[in-house]
């Protein structure tokens, strides 16, 4: 699979690149700055290019930029992405001295990204910590949701390469509201217990 990681020079993007490269996928990390992408890519052992060039020809693109840049970046790359399935992994969080909360927005970030691109959008990987991914294939499950069958299939295939647990279909894209909110829960748990916790779903055959 050819995977373009938009925001591939960031912490989560780099961890994804490492894990997918080791799984045998063809990985291109993207950045606004082509030179920066090429430099980081050489360190990771993958290809690198400007974001718009990186997404062209990909089987799936991963939007791995910071949450506050997700909508603007998706809009800027809409033409280059075209109808290539897009996996949104970001979550909007609100930080305060008493903990981390989900965004007050009524719709998930992934749903709003879907408004600005023609591509089918899936959402997922919100419970995976970059530190866990970069070190080893984590013993966790990965959750993915989406409305488009092909986009979800590719996202689940990608997610299955990242974890030693299972890649699980979490339903329609509207479920991204819950998945993004779960990020806040995981962050709070990790801060409280000084850990890099993940999620395992029990009771499945």
Residues 27-44: tens digit of each pLDDT:
999 999 999 999 999 999
pLDDT, tens digit (0-9, with 9 covering 90-100), for 153-191 = 999 999 999 999 999 999 999 999 999 999 999 999 999
- Whether residue 47 lies inside any domain: the answer is yes
- Whether residue 188 lies inside any domain: the answer is yes
- Whether residue 201 lies inside any domain: the answer is no
Position 199 pLDDT exceeds 90: yes
- Whether residue 106 lies inside any domain: the answer is yes
Position 53 pLDDT exceeds 90: yes
- Whether residue 202 lies inside any domain: the answer is no
- Whether residue 80 lies inside any domain: the answer is yes
Task: Give the C-alpha separation, 8 to 30, whole Å.
Answer: 5
- Whether residue 166 lies inside any domain: the answer is yes
Check the CA dihedral 62-65-71-74 and report its sign.
negative
State residue 191's pLDDT score.
Answer: 93
pLDDT, tens digit (0-9, with 9 covering 90-100), for 127-141 = 999 999 998 999 999
- CATH of residue 137's domain is 3.40.50.720
Share of the chain above pLDDT 70, in %: 100
Position 66 pLDDT exceeds 90: yes
Considering its fold, how many domains does the chain have in total? Answer: 1
Q: b/e per residue, 4-38, with b = 16+ CB within 10 A?
A: bbbbbbbebbbbbbbbbbeeebebbbbbbebeebe
Please state the pTM of the whole predicted model: 0.96
State residue 196's pLDDT score.
Answer: 87
Share of the chain above pLDDT 90, in %: 96
Q: Token pair of 118, please?
A: 């023609």
- Whether residue 88 lies inside any domain: the answer is yes
Place of tokens 């799936």: 60
Residue 147 belongs to domain spanning? 2-193
């Amino acid at each position: 699979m050819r995977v373009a990681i938009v925001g591939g020079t960031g912490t989560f993007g780099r961890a994804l690149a490492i894990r997918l490269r080791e799984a045998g996928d063809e990985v291109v990390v993207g950045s606004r700055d082509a030179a920066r992408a090429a430099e980081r890519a050489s360190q990771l052992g993958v290809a690198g290019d400007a974001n718009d060039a990186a997404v062209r020809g990909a089987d799936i693109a991963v939007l791995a930029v910071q949450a506050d840049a997700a909508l603007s970046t998706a809009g800027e790359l809409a033409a280059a992405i075209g109808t290539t399935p897009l996996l949104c992994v970001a979550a909007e969080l609100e930080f305060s001295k008493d903990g981390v909360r989900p965004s007050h927005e009524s719709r998930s970030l992934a749903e709003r990204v879907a408004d600005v691109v023609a591509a089918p959008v899936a959402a997922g990987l919100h419970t995976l910590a970059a530190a866990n991914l970069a070190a080893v294939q984590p013993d966790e499950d990965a959750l993915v949701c989406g409305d488009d069958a092909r986009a979800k299939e590719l996202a689940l295939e990608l997610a299955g390469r990242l974890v030693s647990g299972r890649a699980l279909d979490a339903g329609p894209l509207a479920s991204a509201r819950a998945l993004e909110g779960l990020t806040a829960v995981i962050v709070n748990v990790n801060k409280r217990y000084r850990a890099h916790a993940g999620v395992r779903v029990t009771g499945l055959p």
